[in-house]
Structure formats: C-alpha cells, structure tokens
Structure 1
Amino acid sequence: MFHKIHFRLTMLFTAIAGLILIVMSLIYLKVTEQGLYDSSFLSFRSDMNTLLSYLEQQTILSDQWLVRLEDSGKYLIYLEDNGTLLPYHNTYRGKKSGTLYTQAAAVYQNQYQTAASAGSYLIRHTEFPFTSSGRADYYACYATIRKESKDLNVLVLYSIDGLQNRCSRQRTILFWIIAAALLLLFFFSRYFTRRLIQPMEESRQRQTRFVAAASHELRTPLAVITSAVSAFPDANADEKPGILHAIRTESFRMSGLVDDLLTLAGADSHSYHIHPGPTDLPPLLIDVYEAFAPMAKEKNIRLEADIPETLLPPVNCDPDRLRQVLSILVHNAVSYGKTGGHVRMSLQYAKNCVRIHVADDGPGIPDQEKERIFERFYRIEKARSGKGHYGLGLSIAMEIVRAHRGDLTVKDADGGGAVFTVTLPVRPIGSP
C-alpha cells in the first residue's frame, strides 16, 4: 500500500512542479523571444533611417556601392526609378530575385501603402515583417524618395534567419534544461515523498505490532479465566475457592491491561489530558515512598526518599499523573532490583527545570536496550517471566512526561543498576 502511495505522490509532485516549471519557462521564452524580435526590428528601423538619409543625399548611385553594401550579408536592396526596376540586381543576384521584390512590393501595397501615403514628404518609408513564398522571413523597408518631381522607390530586405536560428538554439537548450530539471524533480520528489510517508509507515508498523502484542497479552488471562470457568462446575468444594481466586486475579490483571491500553490510545489520539496545578513535590515523593515501602520490605530492598531540606517552590504539573509516573518507575525498580539492594528517589532543582531521579542497584539495562525499553510491550528478555509486567508502564510514563513538556531518560548508575530521570520545566504548562 505504501509503495503505491509513494509512487503516486512522487508522480503528483513531479507533475505539479514540472507543470509550473514548463509554464514559467514558456512564459520566459516568449518574453525573451519577443524582446529579441522587438529589439532587432527597432535596430532595423534605425538603420533604415540612416540608409535612406544617405540615399536622399546622393545624385548618382553606383552599382559597386550597392553591391558592397549587400556583400556584407546584411541587406538586399532593390531600386525602382520612375517605375523601372534597376537591372543591377539581376546581374549580381540572378533573375529570381525579381520575384522576391515583386512579392514584398505586393505586401506593401496591400497592407501598408494607404497608411504611409498621407501628407507631403521628401522621404516616405514603412518597415514591416515579410515572409516570401519560399518561407524565408525578412524585415522589409519600402521607401519612396522624391527628387525633382521624380520618385525613387527603395526596397530593403533584412533576413532574420540568424535571429530565428538563435531563438531555435535557445529553445533547444531550454528543452534539455527542462528535461534535466524534470528528471531531477522526479528523483527529489521520490526522495522527499519517501521521507514524508516514512513516519506514516513506521506508525502503521508500530500499530500492527501494538495490536498483535495486545492480543497476545490479552489471550493469556482470557485463557486462564476460560479454563477456570470450565473447571469450576466439576471442582469439589475445596478447589472452588482457588479457582475463584484465579479468576479474580486474572480479571484484575486484564482490567489493568485494558486501562493501560486505553491510556495509550488516548495519547495517540491526542485526547489524553492533564490538569496541571501548583504541586509540592516533596509530599508527592513521600506518598510514593509510603505506598511502595511494604513491597520493598517484602523483597528486603531498602527504599529511600532523599528530600532537600530547603524550602522548594511548587511546580506546575498534574500531581495524579506525576504520581503515576513515579509509581511506575519505583515499581519497576523494586520488581527488578536484587534482594538486599536499595532503591533511591531524589529531587533536584535547577534554574529552569526540576529533576526527579529513581535509582536502583539492580542488573542494569544494556546500552542497546535503553531506547527500546520505552516501546510498548517491550521487555528485556531476562525480565519477562515472573514479574507480572506487560511492558506498557514505561510507555505510559513517557507519554505523561511528554504531556508535561518534559523528558524521561535512563542511564547507568554508579556501581551498577539504572537511573531514571524525569525532567520537568519550571515554567507553567502552556506558557510561551
């Protein structure tokens, strides 16, 4: 499923970004080419003003001068004196060039002559684009120079093949740039969409493992209860109290497991709420100490609560939830601690935070397990049996601490064992 989503998101992002890139490139190309054509046409008009002014001043035009001007490869010049096309162009360019003149003159007469013929003049000229029957494109200037009641008609053609070739090269270069950009966009989209859906995929995997683990954990107490209920009718009077005790015990265990699952489900759906208020931490540590002192005494473990002698300010937190966190940490420490060992709770104030430490001298936690112990249903292999834990306590503790915008960490204790540290901000929850 995620492979299909990855592919579709990649194609979608590539298509959208590619479409934007293509549209912007086409707009840029159009504006650039239009600017080139406009600039070239303005330059042509300026050159024509200079050329026609020169022709107007000449009384005699030599064929050599015209040929030299054309040999530069820039212009084709046609002269018509009193309705007669001067023959020099046939000599130097061949008879076919007369057809080009006829076509350009016809375009001028059909489209531009009326607009250009008004008023008195010495030089009248019009510049216009022109395409020949051979599909060659030109800028054309058709001019009439009046001299002594005689008209000299001048047609100048400027081939724009070079400009068109330049635009064609620019289009080709832009095409390959767009193609390379689309390819890069595809790979970038593939990479970033993979990063985008990776948290979703990991969340789905965690959810799958969570459901599988929860089903497995619920199966055990349900199997015990089902077996006990089946055996109860055939049991004698001495066996029935034991069966009822087993049913009651497993029911309580399953109820606690369901409560833990509901707590984690509420955290996942962001419907898990805390109710912070000013809380004195020393009395809270003492309450947890008194609650677990009998359990520690039963295991011959020395439980200590180190409370600073100085007066401490209250901390803005949810006391019931924080008590739940400390109960989880102390219960784990006593459960996994060695007989004759000790568990120590301590409180430490810093400038911007408060730290609560729960240390034990038990077997400790391997470095490769320190991150995973906060995963749901995860338990270190050697601690799986006989402790009555489902592997949800530290996950719940982590969610509660995060809801307080705090942090829960673990490290090795000096001389062996582990130290869990709850760090809470001093500033009120919800403050900037």
Structure 2
Amino acid sequence: MLKPLSKKLNILFITTIMLIITCIMLILCKNYLRIEQANEIAFFQRMVTQMTYQLKDSSQGFASIINSYQEYSHPIFCSIQDTSGKRIYQTDSDFPTDADTLLEHFRIQTAKEKTFVIANDNQPVTEQSGIFEFSGTGKDNYLGIFATIVLPKDRAYHLSLIYRQQSLFDILTNQALLYLSLWFLSLIAVTVMSRLLIKKALQPSEVMLKSQKDFIASASHELKSPLAVILANTEKLEQLQIDHAEFRKSVKVLDKECMRMSKLVRDMLLLASSDAKSWTLCKNIIDIDTLLISLYETYEPICISKKICLRLDIEENSYPRFCTDEERLFQILAIYMDNAIHHSVNNKQIEIKTEATGKHITFLVADHGEGIHEDDKPYIFNRFYCADKSRTDKSNFGLGLSIADELAKMMHGKAGFKDTDGGGTTFFVTLPFK
C-alpha cells in the first residue's frame, strides 16, 4: 500500500547518503593526490642528494653510479657537463619529450627560477639547487634539480637531473580499484540498510492502513443487506395509498437518503476491490462513436432538467480500432459527467470531446463552472477529499474521482484535469490504443 512512498524514500535516502560518501571519497582522493605528489618531490630530492654525494666521494665512474638509479620504476634523466659547458655524460631518455627539448626547457626554467648554482672556479663547492617543475611538449610534467659536484683536484661538473612526475591519471589508476570497490560496497550497504530502516519505519502505518481498508471492505459488505431491506420497505411505503403530507414527505426523504447511502456503499466496495486487486477487465473492440453517443443520451435529460447545454464533438474521421473494457471506460466518463453537472450553473455548457494520436486516445469532459481552487488541485484525486470543507454538500463523498483514477491506472491509462478556457475544469482520461 505504501510502496510508492517507500520507493521514493529509498531513492532519497540512498541518493543523499551516497552523495555524502562520494564527497568524502573525493576529499580523500584529493588529499591522496597531494600526499603522493609531495612524496614524489621528497623522493626525488633525497635521490638527487644521495646521487650527488656518491658521485663526489666514489672512485667509480659516472656511468656505473647513475645507471644504478635507472632501476627504479621512475628513472632519472641525467646530463653532466664540465665548467666549460662540454657534455661529459648523458643517460638515455625514454620520456615522451626528447632529451634536447627537455634540456632546453630545463635551462629556461632554471634561468627563470634563478635557483641554480654556478661554481666559482677559484673556490668550487658541491651544491644543488631547489626543486622546480616544468612541462614537456605534451601533457607530461617533470621535476628538475641543478647540481654542482666538485671532485678532487678541484674538478667541477654541473648536473642536470630530471624526473618525470606521475600524471594524475596514473596516480588515480593505482587506487581506482580500491576506491570503486569501496564505493560499490557502500552502495550495497546503504541500499540494504535503507530498505530495512524504511520498511521498519513504515510498518506501523502499513498495518494501520490495512486495518482501515479491511474495515471499509467489511463494513461495506455488511451494510449491503440492511440497506437492501430498507430500500425494499421504502418502496412498499411509497406504494401505499396513504394521503398524508407528512407521511409522503418522510418517505421521500427516506428514499433519497437510502439512495445516497447505496451510492456510498457501492463506491466503497469498488475501492475495496481495487485495494484487493480483484478488479477485472473485460476487453473487447469497441465503437468509440457509439460509446460517446450513449454517454450523451444518458446525460442529456439530466442536463435539460438543470438547464445546462450538453454538446458532443465527434471526430469527422473514423476512430482507429480500440480494444478496452467499455463498461469501465463508461464508468470513468460517467464520473466526469456527474462532476461536471454538479459544478455547472444554469445556461452553462458541458462538452464531451476526444483527441486521438497515433498511440493514444483522450476522452475529455469540459465544464464552464467555478473551476478548481489552486489549493485543492494537488488533492483532487485523493480518496474522501472534498473541496467543500464545510461538508454542506451531502451528495458528494469525495470518492468518484479517486475511483476514476484507479480505473484509469488499471486500464494502463492516465486520469487528469486542466483548466477550461474561459473558466471551469476539463477532466480527461488518456488510454493507449494497444
């Protein structure tokens, strides 16, 4: 009974919680990226410092020391020059940007940052610059450090050390499986928790609604028999030849109220059948023209007695073949007609119209009465809802439109309403041809 509400609450709860979890994971992911980049910079700095002192203190050649650092997953590109600018040694580069371009970008960046050190030929010292970032020819980014190494006999060499940074995509790829797994596990956990909590929360309301509907169904069935007896006896009283004004008046009032009660019981039984899913459809190919003419002829005398003009607009072209339950459709249109007549005033017009497309047909009943107040529009199809809050109108129980809505849904259609041009309301039901 509360399934539509339960679904909406589930969607709202799951969406809200998952948005919060997603935001938290995005923050964690951003922090992870920042930490990874900081670790990468620190790793490069420590590696360069270690390499610099190894080159200074070791008797090994440049090649053997530098090549030992190429075994890392992210190797360093190294170019060594003497103080005159002559290239002494250079490692191979497998970076996206070629070595000469990298060195040119490196030289431009060092000049811009002014962080490199130039050894004094008179007093050479071993030093290294701060770390800086620059880009290659593509989307590849690099870290660079410029260092000066002083060997015995005051021989000085300049080192250009370049390290390729991991791209954001590379860093995220390493953790993508973990984050996706956590996200999907959270989704599963939140979905299960949402269903359990909402089901538990709505259970008392579900039990209460079921009890109410069971009571309405039982009461309606129990009222049928005494009501039938009262109606039969009222009819007998009407047939008695008693010429007494008060007696005849009382019998007339009794008959009127019995008819009202009979209509209410019938409507309640219909809704009870709808709740129990026991409504059935008897579908046949129907003649739409005949249906509309029957509706017109049924309500024409009532409209004439109330001085209401009833108009029937039938399409000039023949309607497509239409398979539906004619009795149920007539019942919906009859509810609309009763509603239109009730809210129309003298000399106003009620129109019965149709609108057909390739896939659907819409039946419309338009009145030119007082219309529906904006505050009442959201609830007009609710059970027992009455726009007349004072309940001075005793002929309306607020069940007719809810029955029309239930019937339309059962026929895979849609019931609705809109404002009529010039005032009033147009109620419609749209049904599929297939």
TM-score normalized by structure 1?
0.48
Specify the structure having the higher radius of gyration (Cα): 1
TM-score normalized by structure 2?
0.48
